[in-house]
Chains A and B, each alone.
Chain A
Amino acid sequence: MGYHTAHWENTTMTDWGMILSIGLIQNMFYATILASVLCGIIGTYVVVKRIVFVSGGIAHATFGGVGFAYYAQSVLLVSWFDPMLGAMVFAVGAALIIGSPRISKRLREDSTIGVLWVVGMALGVLFISLTDHSAVLVRSYESILFGNVLLVSTQDLQFMMVMIVAVLALVAFFYRDLQIVTFDEIHARITGINVTFMNTLLYVLVALTCVFVMNVVGIVLVIALLTIPAAMASMFSNDLRQIMLLAIVSSLVLSLLGLVFAIEFNIPPGASIVLTIAAFFLISLGVKSLNDRGYLS
């Protein structure tokens, strides 16, 4: 619980100059910025394609990967297999399973997701209980599930940056076909797009996003960053690119604000970020509804 032991806890006035000079705090801000960019873009697809539940399944499956990584590091002595890598293997695995036509032929998509969701969680619990806790430092369930940005290392950040460049490049390259597939799969098929490939690609992008964003807000709250900014943006724009941009900006501003609240009031950063975003979501819902009824114009 990094935020409990934070040493600014006892000061009456928050000394921001001092806080911002701490490396880990800086990392926390950088991680939040990167997560916002990623969630603004991928979250837009998640919202317009209505695959929030897919993202939920993938995000929760990562818990199994985190647990497995601890087990691998401590018992199997595979020291390079760190929790982020474990999370990535499980998330991408879940994405590939959900996208597989062999499975969707036999099972309804949401059933598949439900199974992956709980099996991922259960495997996480199992592996963590099998882990030799004297050999590795295992993060608490709370920190894995609800996040602890104070644990983002510089190495994590570098890894995140490389992956974000890759994700952005993929989205830029496939933008047009992603638009067609997310809009109308049957038309996409007729025009020669490999729909299975594009859907799987989108799920993998969601999976990678979940893994990175997990570092900031934790597994459970990933859905918030993926969903709320994009849903909020889509109330005010009807253009996919504009929605992405709006989602990035609102996610950026609101999660940084959430971080500031977290430090100022000494509350867990993950929860603080999510609640800040959610509060503005409610406000914008209200503004939108007043506007639609003509009160504001």
Chain B
Amino acid sequence: MIENPPIEIQNLTAGYGHSVVLEDVTMNLEHNDFLAIIGPNGGGKTTLLKAILGIIPPKSGSIKIFGKSVEEGLKHIGYVPQKGNFDNRFPITVYDVVLMGTRGGKGYRPRYSAEQRQKAVEAMEKVGIADFASTTLSELSGGQLQRALLARAMAGEPDILLLDEPTASLDPQMKDCIYDSLKRVNDQVSILIVTHDIGVVSSQVKRIACLNRKVIVHDEPLITPDMMQLGYHCPVELLAHGIPHRTLGEHDHD
């Protein structure tokens, strides 16, 4: 049986008002994929995420989630925002935030079930934030907050995880911890991460795409010279020093 890919983007053009930020982007997120999208600031990474989440409508082209419309497919997605689209002073505990992740589907159920509570606890344990369950959000460090948001996304047991700069405010050990937790769920979940920090793209990802208005996808975890050219308009040699040597592959010009 051939299943629809978790995310299928075809000839997507999107932007704000008259400006075009994404042009003719075609790419897929495959089953059990671990795709990192890199690219400069303003290259359209956030716009791509917004389009996938249905926050901005495409100007042309299409996005399908498991073959369905974005609207219908949203329930498959767990989203980890970069900082959170919320007021950090909102009076709420980590546990209550993570519980929110378990509210899938339509309808208005006034209470969380025991099963949902269990899932929330498990998600907090997975990302090592269980000790902070009853801590108020405003008292968390940047890294703890990011892990709380990851736990919220995981608690809903999504089929797709979208992460926006997931390790931006983390120290190196914590970055590894996050990537470890992602890797552990990767056999059930397709993962798409977005980052402007090439150094962060660890050996854990399976594929890399570079997005700067247009997209280049590479089916191996390699940053290729033409990605550098597209993304940063710099001679590759200059950037190569900042990148672990093995990630710079020879590119076949065919």
- Where the two chains meet, the residues of A that have a C-beta atom closer than 8 Å to any C-beta of B are 48, 50, 172-177, 179-180, 182-187, 189-193, 234, 237-240, 243
Interface check B152, CB cutoff 8 A: yes
**Bound Cα distance from A29 to B101, whole angstroms:** 43
Interface check B156, CB cutoff 8 A: yes
Establish whether residues B100 and A180, one from each chain, have CB atoms under 8 Å apart when the complex forms.
yes
Interface check B87, CB cutoff 8 A: yes
Which A residues lie within 8 Å of B86 (CB)? Answer: 183-184
Q: In B97-116, which residues have CB < 8 Å from any A CB? A: 97, 100-101, 103-106, 108-112
Which B residues lie within 8 Å of A174 (CB)? Answer: 108, 110
Give me 25 A-to-B residue pairs in the complex whose CB atoms sit less than 8 angstroms apart, sorted by A's number.
A48-B87, A175-B110, A176-B111, A179-B92, A180-B103, A182-B90, A183-B87, A183-B90, A183-B97, A184-B85, A185-B85, A186-B85, A187-B79, A187-B85, A187-B100, A189-B55, A190-B77, A191-B104, A191-B105, A191-B156, A192-B103, A238-B91, A238-B93, A238-B136, A239-B93
Which A residues lie within 8 Å of B81 (CB)? Answer: 186-187
The 7 closest A-B CB pairs, nearest first, are A238-B136, A238-B91, A184-B86, A186-B85, A191-B103, A192-B106, A180-B100
The residue that A173 contacts in the complex, of B79, B100, B105, B110, with Cβ under 8 A, is: B110
**Bound Cα distance from A240 to B99, whole angstroms:** 15
Establish whether residues B75 and A192, one from each chain, have CB atoms under 8 Å apart when the complex forms.
yes
Closest CB in chain A relative to B95 CB, distance in Å: 11
**Bound Cα distance from A174 to B109, whole angstroms:** 8
Which B residues lie within 8 Å of A189 (CB)? Answer: 53-55, 74
Which B residues lie within 8 Å of A243 (CB)? Answer: 91
**Bound Cα distance from A120 to B86, whole angstroms:** 31
Which B residues lie within 8 Å of A177 (CB)? Answer: 103, 108
**Bound Cα distance from A239 to B152, whole angstroms:** 18
**Bound Cα distance from A48 to B91, whole angstroms:** 8
Closest CB in chain A relative to B198 CB, distance in Å: 27
Closest CB in chain A relative to B89 CB, distance in Å: 8
Establish whether residues B110 and A240, one from each chain, have CB atoms under 8 Å apart when the complex forms.
no
Which A residues lie within 8 Å of B112 (CB)? Answer: 176
**Bound Cα distance from A185 to B84, whole angstroms:** 10
Establish whether residues A187 and B90, one from each chain, have CB atoms under 8 Å apart when the complex forms.
no
Establish whether residues A240 and B104, one from each chain, have CB atoms under 8 Å apart when the complex forms.
no
Known: A180-B100, A185-B85, A234-B91. 4 other contacts (CB 8 A): A173-B108, A182-B90, A184-B85, A239-B93
Which B residues lie within 8 Å of A183 (CB)? Answer: 86-87, 90, 92, 97, 100
Interface check B203, CB cutoff 8 A: no
Closest Cβ neighbor of B50 among chain A residues: A186
Closest Cβ neighbor of B106 among chain A residues: A192
Which B residues lie within 8 Å of A175 (CB)? Answer: 110
Given contacts A183-B90, A183-B97, contact A238 B138 (CB under 8 A): yes
Which B residues lie within 8 Å of A173 (CB)? Answer: 108, 110
Closest Cβ neighbor of B158 among chain A residues: A190
Which A residues lie within 8 Å of B108 (CB)? Answer: 173-174, 177
Establish whether residues B79 and A190, one from each chain, have CB atoms under 8 Å apart when the complex forms.
yes
Closest Cβ neighbor of A198 among chain B residues: B108
Given contacts A186-B81, A191-B156, contact A179 B96 (CB under 8 A): yes
Which A residues lie within 8 Å of B87 (CB)? Answer: 48, 50, 183
**Bound Cα distance from A172 to B109, whole angstroms:** 11
**Bound Cα distance from A164 to B54, whole angstroms:** 37
Which B residues lie within 8 Å of A237 (CB)? Answer: 91
**Bound Cα distance from A238 to B138, whole angstroms:** 9
Closest CB in chain A relative to B78 CB, distance in Å: 8
Which B residues lie within 8 Å of A180 (CB)? Answer: 100, 103
Closest CB in chain B relative to A38 CB, distance in Å: 20
**Bound Cα distance from A191 to B112, whole angstroms:** 14
Closest Cβ neighbor of A172 among chain B residues: B110
Which B residues lie within 8 Å of A50 (CB)? Answer: 87
Closest CB in chain A relative to B44 CB, distance in Å: 18
**Bound Cα distance from A60 to B103, whole angstroms:** 37
Which B residues lie within 8 Å of A192 (CB)? Answer: 74-75, 103-106
Which B residues lie within 8 Å of A234 (CB)? Answer: 91
Establish whether residues B109 and A240, one from each chain, have CB atoms under 8 Å apart when the complex forms.
no
Which A residues lie within 8 Å of B85 (CB)? Answer: 184-187
Establish whether residues B109 and A176, one from each chain, have CB atoms under 8 Å apart when the complex forms.
yes
**Bound Cα distance from A132 to B193, whole angstroms:** 68
Closest Cβ neighbor of B102 among chain A residues: A191
Closest CB in chain B relative to A172 CB, distance in Å: 7
Closest Cβ neighbor of A243 among chain B residues: B91
Which A residues lie within 8 Å of B54 (CB)? Answer: 189
